[in-house]
């Protein structure tokens, strides 16, 4: 009941429409936002959330080809896996793989971006060509590298024998270090264009006059890189490191196509281990358990990445 005459007049003049929703304009905006999000939320729930929740559930069950219905075993799968030295080995292999692929992808991507940021004839063509490895399917790249390293017909052996470095063809992919080097090389080869693009975008916003001034003051290439380029690219580097780590933790296709996780278990990263458990040993419960642990390793960098994004948005 209005106590003031002016309030009473306002209420009469601006009476809300009978079609107006409760909560006013702000709530209407909120509902509109939810509606816009809804398709993405539905797709996310169906494609990502639902399989993940199912996998989470399956990790608590014994579910092999000989058990038509899953049998609840609680945390037994986790207990068994954590006591299994081969699975612990897969975590180490994954860490080694992620470290080297992320490090070399970023270092070489940055170096290539700095080169392509310099003005020279044919730069645009070279930038375009540089994207080719990124466009190429990962398995195709893996097979190309497979042929380079092939013990009988490989280019590497042919060149090494031609120059007299080796007497007999070497089975490069049959040594622990050789196989790891090969899968890292493939991933680095695939990742350089993407990281290069990130760095090029970062370099585009850099004030060239600042670098020229530094050079006038006598700064060499190293000092320009250390004191000007790297500080300027710091936010980009942060995002690229996190994205690189997440991508490398998820990598499967190029590794499986090139080495199948071998020799022995030298390149059996977590993704390969999940595949082996599910489709070579027919043990869905164990595969789901490794998958859950695998997701747990991806969560910290993913959280960090999202936090950076939110900060940027604010």
Question: In sequence order, which residues have a C-beta less than 8 Å from that of residue 51 and are 6 or more positions away?
Answer: none
DSSP annotation of 174: G
| CB nearer to another protein: pick between 246 and 284 | 284
- In this complex, which beta carbon is closest to another protein, that of residue 199 or of residue 256? 256
Site string for another protein, 188-227 (x = CB under 8 A): ----------------------------------------
User: With binding defined as CB under 8 A, does residue 165 bind another protein?
Assistant: no
Binding segment for another protein (CB under 8 A), chosen from 100-108, 130-138, 149-157, 229-237, is 149-157
Instruction: Give the C-alpha distances (Å, rounded to integers) separating 151 from 145, 170, 257.
Output: 12, 6, 16
Q: What angle do CA 173, 132, 207 make, to 5 degrees?
A: 115
Q: Which stretch binds another protein (CB under 8 A): 19-27, 45-53, 183-191, 256-264?
A: 256-264
Q: Is 57 in the site for another protein (CB under 8 A)?
A: no
Cβ distance to another protein smaller for residue 219 or 278: 278
With CA atoms as reference, report the closest residue to 251 among 101, 131, 147, 109.
101
* Cα 33-39-42 angle, rounded to 5 deg: 115
Q: Which residues contact 90 (CB under 8 A, 6 or more apart)?
A: 265, 268, 269, 270, 272, 273, 290
CA distances from 229 to 86, 137, 202, 226 (A): 43, 32, 9, 6
Please state the closest distance from residue 91 (CB atom) to another protein, in A.
17
Contact between 174 and another protein by CB under 8 A: the answer reads: yes
If one asks whether residue 18 binds another protein (CB under 8 A), the answer comes out as no
310 binds another protein (CB under 8 A): no
- Sequence-ordered alpha helix ranges (H) in 205-283: 208-216, 221-224, 230-250, 253-258, 270-279
Nearest distance from C-beta of residue 27 to another protein, angstroms: 25
- Closer Cβ to another protein, 161 or 206, answer by number: 161
- Please select the residue that binds another protein; options are 68, 119, 164, 218, rule is CB under 8 A: 68
Nearest to 94 by CA among 297, 259, 243: 297
Can you tell me which of 150, 250, 297, 308 binds another protein, judged by CB under 8 A?
A: 150
- Which one of residues 276, 287, 291, 293 is an interface residue with another protein (CB under 8 A)? 276
3-state secondary structure of 69: coil
**Interacting residues toward another protein by CB under 8 A:** 64-66, 68, 150-152, 168, 171, 173-176, 260, 262-265, 276, 278-284
């Amino acid at each position: 009941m209005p106590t003031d005459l002016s309030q009473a007049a306002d209420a009469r003049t601006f009476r809300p429409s009978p079609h107006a929703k409760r909560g006013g304009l702000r709530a209407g905006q909120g509902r509109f936002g939810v509606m816009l999000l809804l398709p993405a939320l539905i797709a996310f729930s169906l494609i990502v959330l639902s399989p993940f929740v199912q996998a989470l559930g399956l990790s608590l069950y014994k579910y092999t080809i000989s058990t038509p219905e899953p049998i609840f075993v609680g945390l037994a799968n986790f207990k068994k896996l954590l006591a299994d030295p081969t699975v612990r080995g897969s975590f180490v292999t994954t860490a080694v793989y992620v470290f080297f692929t992320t490090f070399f992808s970023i270092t070489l991507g940055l170096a290539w971006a700095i080169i392509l940021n310099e003005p020279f004839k044919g730069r645009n063509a070279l930038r375009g060509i540089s994207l080719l490895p990124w466009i190429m399917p990962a398995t195709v790249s893996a097979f190309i590298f497979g042929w380079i390293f092939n013990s009988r017909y490989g280019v590497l052996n042919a060149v090494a024998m031609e120059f007299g470095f080796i007497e007999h063809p070497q089975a490069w992919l049959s040594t622990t270090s050789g196989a790891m080097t090969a899968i890292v090389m493939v991933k680095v080869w695939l990742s350089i264009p993407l990281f290069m693009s990130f760095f090029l975008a970062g370099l585009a916003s850099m004030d060239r006059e600042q670098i020229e001034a530094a050079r006038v003051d006598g700064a060499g290439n190293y000092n320009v890189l250390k004191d000007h380029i790297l500080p300027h690219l710091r936010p980009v580097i942060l995002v690229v490191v996190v994205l690189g780590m997440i991508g490398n933790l998820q990598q499967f296709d190029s590794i499986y196509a090139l080495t199948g996780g071998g020799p022995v278990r030298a390149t059996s990263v977590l993704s390969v281990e999940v595949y082996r458990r599910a489709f070579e040993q027919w043990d869905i419960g164990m595969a789901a358990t490794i998958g859950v642990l695998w997701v747990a390793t991806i969560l910290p960098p993913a959280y960090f990445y999202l936090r950076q994004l939110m900060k940027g948005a604010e």
